[in-house]
Amino acid sequence: WKKLYFVHHWPVTVCKMTANDCQDPPQYWTIHGLWPDKGEECNRSWHFNVSEIKDLLSDMRHYWPDVLHSSLNRTQFWKHEWDKHGTCAATLEILNSQKKYFSKALELYQHIDLNSFLLKAGIKPSSSYYQMIDMKEALTRFYGVTPKIQCLPPEEGEKAQTLGQIEFCFTKELQLRNCTAPEGESASMPTDFKLGSEELSICSDTLPTYYPPQVQ
């Protein structure tokens, strides 16, 4: 693989996508995962073991919660992320253990500090709509790279898309890079996030964008 996607999702939108028992989703961006751009389940015999990350658990529950299942003792989501993506990322020495993989993702989350940036840029959950172009420009200006932004397309009768996920791309040296594929590199993406029948896709530049303050 060539690059890593570091993926944040907006818990309110995640809850909107599913008929699950989402109880009071966090009102801040949380981690969805750290994904190499190719490969899934690279080592099926390397099983997730929560005791390897026990000193990370309070941070994990706060910044990388299982939004859909509010019970604090659930480790299914982390297990899924490790099995599917972590075992592939582990070809890099800096990510070659469960402890390193999860703690590095938490470090990247603090480093990017997306929640603070959006507030500073005046982009906050609101009942009025944003223009995707403005959002993109603000992010690119601040981070110096183009992230990938995903939305829920409008439902029937709606005119706006709903902001769902913001992905930052990193090189194998963990330097920020553009998420757009340079010439000669395929733009193939990890499969888009899907829950039930609704799924996120790249946000349209022309549709108004809803950044929902709470689950409707």
Q: Hey, which residues are catalytic here?
A: 32, 81, 85
Question: How many CA atoms are closer than 13 Å to the CA of 210, on its beta-carbon side?
Answer: 18
Rounded Cα–Cα distance for residues 80 and 41 (Å): 9
Are the CB atoms for 5 and 47 separated by under 8 Å?
A: no
For the stretch 14-25, what's the b/e string if a residue is b when 16 or more beta carbons lie within 10 angstroms of its beta carbon?
A: bbbbeeeebeeb
DSSP string, 33-89: EEEESS-SS--TTS---GGGGGGGHHHHHHHS--TT---TT--HHHHHHIIIIIHHH
φ/ψ (deg, to 5) at 30: -120, 170
Closest CA to 60 of 108, 14, 106, 112: 106
Residues 6+ apart with CB under 8 A from 157: none
Rounded Cα–Cα distance for residues 103 and 60 (Å): 9
